[in-house]
Structure 1
Amino acid sequence: MQASVRLLTKRRFLPLFVTQLLGAFNDNLFKNAMVLFVVYSVYNDARAETWFSAIATGVFILPFFLLSALSGQLADQRDKARIIRFVKAAEIVIMSVGAVGLAMAWMGVAIHVVAIPLMLLALFAMGIHSTFFGPIKYAILPQHLREEEVLGGTGLVEAGTYIAILAGTILAGLIAVEVAAGVVIGTAIIGYLAGRQVPTAPPLGQCDPLDYHFIRASITLVRGTMHVPRLYLAIVSISFFWTIGAVLFIQFPPLVKNVLTADKAVASLFLAIFSIGIAIGSVAINRLLQGSVSAKYAPASVIGMGLFLLGFHFVCANWQGAANGQLLSLSDFLGHPHALGITGTLLGVATFGGMFVVPLYAFLTTTVEKCEAARTIAANNIVNSGAMVVGSLIAIGLTILGMTPVNQLILVAAMCPISAWLASRLHKACNDGECGPTITS
């Protein structure tokens, strides 16, 4: 662990870490400021609130599905540091547009006609930004770090990401929407300056020419990656995790408002607890594996996640909310007799989730040739985003059918044994000697 933390003193790691941290912070500050404002200040219907939360999630995810193949090719065939500088400059423009939408919503000017569409447009553009940055943040690590540092570096990136998500999420629930508009622009500027310090990372090896036909490129990329059994198992396992995460994130705001009868600060607390848990799990699994990249603990981790999900369901189902349409403040919520149970089970869900997913990301970048790491991550992002879209549609469909957010948690927990089975197959494949680098194109 100390060896991993020492990476924060190295220029070959720190600027990338800070750039990723600020990007994740900005994504979540903007998205949650928007969603919480709309859920708590615009709509007053549980179904409409779930729909908007799902739409916001889908809008952000869609670019990953459409453009990950192109982003992965670019990251493998161009200087990764140069791409970082370009996308971070674009973030300043995107956040300026989003800030206008937030400001208009605050002033009550054309909320439905202009402000909300403008915010969703900025969210979509941030999805494009993250699509092109995503493969780089993992693929650049094996290029700048020694082999024994990659898992630790991946863990730090994941932990830092979720700490940033935590900070952005909490801040979104505490500050006024007009203040958030200014903060997202300032953060984008600082992120651009940090990105300029990332050391050069030129392409490695011989890679195929760029294919700008993104649909054909996506099909080719996924087909060229998923035929490798170990990559298939890792990607599908991660995708199940993010399907679970998508349903949870969509349901948190309406669940907190309508089931737990609590205000938006509590909704932010839930998202923050989830982020803390992922960060804890990221660090814990690195310590357990002692720097090796392995799916050894993945099956047990996802089973633990499922058990805590059932506990979370049980506490929510027995929650006694406020009467007469009142909403519990953060202090009132924390004073509730079941508050410890609900926060503890949620923390358990996230911690075991972090322990499950972090080694699998490190696995994707260390078991392929370095010149194909970004495209492997891109293929993973395509499948993951498709799974998250499916999760969003499941949440919308079940809501239309009348299933409450609380009961949807049971369905989410039922997906965990499937992930455990896939992870156990992956671990067995590695034990059988099938985890060496392989060209996947």
Structure 2
Amino acid sequence: MLALIAARRFGPLFVTQFLGAFNDNLFKTAFIFAVTFRLRADDPAGAAALATVAAGVFIAPYILFSGLAGDLADRLDKALIAVWVKVAEIAFMGLGTLALALDSEALCLGVLALMGLHSTIFGPVKYAILPQHLAERELLLGTGLVEGATFVAILLGQIAGGLLPTGLAGPVAIGIAVAGLLSARFIPPAPPAGERGRIDWNPLTSTRTALGHAFSSRPLSIATLAISWFWALGAIYTSQFVPLARNYLGGNEALATFFLAAFSVGIAVGSAGVARLLRGRISARLAAPAVLVMALAALDLYFAESAFSGAPAGSISGLLSRPAGWRLMFDLLAMALAGGVFSVPLYGILQTATRPQARARTIAANNIVNAIFQVGGVLIIGSVLGGGAPVPLALAAAGLTGLLLIPLLRQLP
């Protein structure tokens, strides 16, 4: 693992994508904290609404421009795209620093949209480039490291965005973007697999083409839908950690952050470890058992939480001082570990079951469906909770939906 990270054919990409994911969440969290605790401190409802708008503004480019991003990555050198994206990130973070200094909500939202576009363009690159630089036996490990590092970077970016003073968040983000550019310059060339062809700059037609590639065969269709379900489940759970900690366990933001950390690290460990379990072979044979573990963990988490009814945990130490608290954390970690084992081989199928000339567009289409599933999942869970369902029950039900995928997963190689 360490040898692969140290190799030029993987290490610079690994660092570049880690820093990009970190910066996205650093700026987004810094903005949300500025709104919540300063700009709209006397308007909690308005602050919450603006945080929701910020999330929507960031994810919208994935739906609108992923098709174009995939087309670019299939027709241009992927390493060159990475450098261009990092140059743009420095400019965006400079603009973001100005927006935070001016306390401009509108400008901050504009920067979030630009950072969403930055991540949209880089998204197909980071997975489509791996088969060009890694041996077949290394591909699963490389993909797992990229996915696991992404979750850790998201976590660390959110923590940094909450801890750093607003005046420092922008300059730090610029420094991180510069470091990302330096690492991107060391990514080895990754030219197009076929003839360059003509780039389709129309977002609608490029999206339609990308989706056509992703749903051109049953294995690709199943892998795309299953990965998107996993990202939707992750979005649902992470969006409800604060209400779960505060309203059902009597805890605070530290307890919610503890849940997020455990969930993120668990996915990272599962993502990095699945290559060893499968001995480097790209296979979905562990996907069905993994989704079963996730469903059982979600169900047991519901019963573990019920032990705190009338006797809230209050804090991290209070949670871990009781057997039910350890049970709850075990369930959360088991779900996250299984999630990493579940998703990484499915990405491997996307990378290898499509034509090399269309690999990036296939991955881009997966990003489109992922974004739609995440938005849809959060809206559905919000509607269910708005109807009066308790958070633990809603989370258990969300986890159990994975059982519907088992017949499809058994059709994969």
TM over 0.5, yes or no?
A: yes
Question: Is the counterpart of residue 362 in structure 1 residue 348 in structure 2?
Answer: yes
Q: Distance in 1 between matches of 2:42 and 2:387?
A: 19
SS of the residue corresponding to residue 349 of structure 1 reads helix
State the 1:160 CA deviation. Answer: 2.2
CA pair 134-46 structure 1, distance change in 2 beyond 3 A: same
Output the TM-score relative to the length of structure 1: 0.85
User: For the aligned residues, what is the CA RMSD?
Assistant: 2.7
In structure 1, the residue matched to 2:90 is: 92
**1:172-215 Cα deviation digits (max 9, x unpaired):** 44444444333222211111111111111111113652211111
Q: Distance in 2 between matches of 1:49 and 1:335?
A: 34
State the 1:38 CA deviation. Answer: 4.9
Question: Is the counterpart of residue 240 in structure 1 residue 229 in structure 2?
Answer: yes
In structure 2, the residue matched to 1:62 is: 60
**1:243-267 Cα deviation digits (max 9, x unpaired):** 1112112222333333334333333
CA pair 363-167 structure 1, distance change in 2 beyond 3 A: same
State the 1:336 CA deviation. Answer: 6.2
Q: Distance in 1 between matches of 2:54 and 2:243?
A: 14
Unaligned runs of 5+ in 2: none
Residues 244 and 415 of structure 1 are in contact (CA less than 8 Å); yes or no, is this contact kept in structure 2? Answer: no
What aligned pairs does 1:72-151 form with structure 2 within 5 A after superposition?
Answer: 72-103=70-101, 114-115=104-105, 117-151=106-140
**1:113-150 Cα deviation digits (max 9, x unpaired):** x33x4333322221111110010001111111122221
In structure 2, the residue matched to 1:391 is: 377
State the 1:162 CA deviation. Answer: 2.4
- Code of the residue aligned with 2:265 in structure 1: it is I
- Code of the residue aligned with 1:10 in structure 2: it is A
2:248 to 256, 259, 267: 259
- Code of the residue aligned with 2:27 in structure 1: it is F
Output the TM-score relative to the length of structure 2: 0.90
Residues 214 and 365 of structure 2 are in contact (CA less than 8 Å); yes or no, is this contact kept in structure 1? Answer: yes
In structure 1, the residue matched to 2:271 is: 282
State the 1:398 CA deviation. Answer: 2.4
State the 1:339 CA deviation. Answer: 3.5
CA pair 349-121 structure 1, distance change in 2 beyond 3 A: farther
Q: Distance in 2 between matches of 1:23 and 1:199?
A: 18
Q: Distance in 1 between matches of 2:154 and 2:364?
A: 22
Q: Distance in 2 between matches of 1:345 and 1:31?
A: 29
CA pair 141-238 structure 1, distance change in 2 beyond 3 A: same
What aligned pairs does 1:195-234 form with structure 2 within 5 A after superposition?
Answer: 195-206=184-195, 208-234=197-223
In structure 2, the residue matched to 1:438 is: none
State the 1:51 CA deviation. Answer: 5.2
Residues 54 and 396 of structure 1 are in contact (CA less than 8 Å); yes or no, is this contact kept in structure 2? Answer: no
Residues 15 and 194 of structure 1 are in contact (CA less than 8 Å); yes or no, is this contact kept in structure 2? Answer: yes
In structure 1, the residue matched to 2:403 is: 417
SS of the residue corresponding to residue 195 of structure 2 reads coil
May I ask how many residue pairs the two structures share in their alignment? 412
State the 1:151 CA deviation. Answer: 1.3
In structure 2, the residue matched to 1:435 is: none
CA pair 47-415 structure 1, distance change in 2 beyond 3 A: farther
- Code of the residue aligned with 1:65 in structure 2: it is I
CA pair 242-59 structure 1, distance change in 2 beyond 3 A: same
Question: Is the counterpart of residue 376 in structure 1 residue 373 in structure 2?
Answer: no
SS of the residue corresponding to residue 294 of structure 1 reads coil
SS of the residue corresponding to residue 290 of structure 1 reads coil
2:176 to 184, 187, 190: 187
Q: Distance in 1 between matches of 2:49 and 2:333?
A: 26
State the 1:337 CA deviation. Answer: 6.1
Q: Distance in 1 between matches of 2:51 and 2:409?
A: 30
Residues 36 and 264 of structure 1 are in contact (CA less than 8 Å); yes or no, is this contact kept in structure 2? Answer: no
State the 1:352 CA deviation. Answer: 0.6
In structure 2, the residue matched to 1:439 is: none
Question: Is the counterpart of residue 347 in structure 1 residue 349 in structure 2?
Answer: no
